[in-house]
Structure 1
Amino acid sequence: MNCALVTGASRGLGRAIALQLAIDHGLFILINFASNHEAAEETLSAIRAAGGDGNLLPFRVQHKEEVDAALNAWKEANPEKFISVLVNNAGITKDGLLMWMPESDWDSVVDISVKGMFNVTQNVIQQMLRKRTGRIVNVSSLSGLKGVAGQTNYSAAKGAMIASTKSLAQEVAKRNITVNAVAPGFIRSDMTGDLDEGQIRQLVPVGRIGEPEEVAHTVSFLVSQKAAYITGEVININGGIYS
């Protein structure tokens, strides 16, 4: 049975992506989360209500030993299942000007996005390489392409994800594994909840904030057979703000 692992899938973009992959591709969804068990259960309930199924898979992506222990135990208990799709979505923001930024704010943002991507991908890709098939999608950001004042840590993390996407795509293309990234702009989520929507509308050419489902549909396309010849790419989903 083919499965999709979505990190940070308890809410927001992660939840929308997990649900869309279950609906569009019939994938068994592994819902990763760090601590919000109740929200992760809500994601699983939404997937089951849509006719799909999955498991909760708690671990902190930034800790390699924790990642390997959780994933290896799951694989041992589920030998008939194969994680054919990986979406590295886990991430946080801790915004602030670089001159006053605590070192811990830099480290935690970079560790979750970049080290987390490394930890999870290195484990999951081993089976993809053996089976000579797989789809990896890294959730980056407009900040990783354009740079945003007050987000040097987040921009660094998301920019690193894009660079890593392009390199890894070249390493594994001959094994029929594609590696792509999506770069959302202003998308309705916990991260944008405190922003002034009126000001955002003035910044975005299409005049509105994007919806999580619009990102999820793009991810769904990238993991489909229709996107088999697309790898090493970054798909912008930002309403024209970086066109």
Structure 2
Amino acid sequence: MKKVLVTGGATGIGKACALLFEKEGYDVYITYNRTEPDYDVKKIKCDLKNTDEIKTLFDTEHGFDILVNNAGVSLIKMINDVTDSDYEAVTAVNERAVYFICKYALKDMINKKSGAIINISSMWGQCGASCETLYSMTKAGIIGLTKALAQEVAPSGITVNCVAPGIIDTRMNDMFSEDELKDEVPLGRLGTPNEVAKAVLFFAENPYVTGQILGVNGGIV
């Protein structure tokens, strides 16, 4: 049974990924921090802003075959209003944590000469969003990491891909009305977490697809 780690698995896209992998017969672990998961799963409390806690996670749990870097935080502010602490908080989770989680997870994957990493970016990482410069920058960084790492670990039989969701019906978008959001989508509705999870599962199960960015955005990008 293949072992999967989904970061930020308590709610939303992470929860949908964990449940889908579990349904497909995988051994699923998730990380969470402040929000306690409301479903039965192997869970690891980890503050991803803390690199020591990330290292402890991989010192404790070994042998992940699939890694889904889903955890992320958003920030909607004009660039002149972004503080130093805003910058540190967003980049710590959206970029630094992803980088080091990949690094630690790869040790076992390289030894086994197999594995799959799926990073969750955003459509704003592809095209940018006004008033979300910091978020867009970090999500664009995830795309760059995916492309570079895919080349680096391909000789070890490991795939690295990226899913870039659009407007998905999660709590990250709770501040907006659904009617306001769906008017921006050519398909005329918000995406579901499970639709993103299906894209993640595709990457996890296809060993000849690597270095790719798949938009799940209803046609916006």
2:179 to 198, 203, 209: 198
Secondary structure of 2:111's partner? helix
- Give the unaligned 5+ runs of structure 1: 46-53, 76-81
CA distance in 1, matches of 2:71, 2:135: 12
Contact 1:62 1:119 in 2 (8 A): no
Query: Using the alignment, how far apart are the partners of 1:32 and 1:129 within structure 2?
Result: 22
**For residues 177 and 45 of structure 2, what CA distance do their matches in structure 1 show?**
33
Letter in 2 for 1:234: I
Match of 1:3 in 2: 3
Q: 1:63: which partner in 2?
A: 50
Structure-2 residue corresponding to 1:79: none
Contact 1:129/1:175 (<8 A) preserved: yes
The reply to whether residue 114 of structure 1 matches residue 95 of structure 2 is yes
Q: Does 1:241 align with 2:220?
A: yes
Match of 1:186, SS state, is: coil
Pairwise CA distance, 1:95: 1.3
> Structure 2: which amino acid aligns with 1:193?
D
Deviation (angstroms), 1:100: 1.4
The one-character-per-residue Cα deviations of 1:168-216 (angstroms, maximum 9, x if unpaired) are: 0000011110000000000000111121221222211000000000000
Q: Which runs of 5 or more residues in structure 2 are unaligned?
A: none
Aligned to 1:209: 190
List 4+ stretches of structure 1 deviating above 2 A. Answer: none
Deviation by residue 1:79-114 (Cα, 9 ceiling, x = unmatched): xxx210000001011210001111211221111011
Quick one: distance in 2 between partners of 1:234 and 1:112? Answer: 20
Which of the residues 108, 118, 135 maps onto 1:154? Answer: 135
Deviations along 1:131-175, whole A, 9 cap, x unmatched? 000000000001101101110110011000000000000000111
Deviation at residue 27 of structure 1 after TM alignment: 1.1
Alpha-carbon distance between aligned partners in 2 of 1:9 and 1:159, rounded to the nearest angstrom: 22
- Alignment match, 2:28: 29
Alignment of 1:15 onto 2:15: yes
Q: Identical aligned pairs, as a percentage?
A: 33
The CA distance in 2 between the partners of 1:228 and 1:132, in whole Å, is 12
How much is the aligned-residue C-alpha RMSD, in angstroms? Answer: 1.1
Letter in 1 for 2:12: G
TM-score normalized with structure 1 length: 0.88
Distance of 1:62 and 1:122 partners within structure 2:
15
In structure 2, how many angstroms separate the alpha carbons of the residues matched to 1:28 and 1:217?
Answer: 17
Alpha-carbon shift at residue 74 of structure 1 (Å): 2.6
Distance in 1, Cα, partners of 2:198 & 2:12: 14
What is the distance in 1 between the residues matched to 2:75 and 2:186? 27
**Structure 1 residue 3: Cα displacement:** 0.8
* Structure 1 residue 222 displacement after superposition: 0.7
State whether structure 2 residue 208 is matched by structure 1 residue 222. no
Letter in 2 for 1:213: N
Aligned partners of 1:208, 1:167: CA distance in 2, in Å? 33
1:131 to 2:112 alignment: yes
Distance in 1, matches of 2:204 and 2:184, equals 30
Asked whether the 8 Å contact 1:61–1:120 carries over to 2, the reply is no
| 1:147 partner amino acid | G
TM-score norm. by structure 2 comes to: 0.97
Task: Name the one with the larger helix percent.
Answer: 1
Give the total of aligned pairs.
Answer: 221
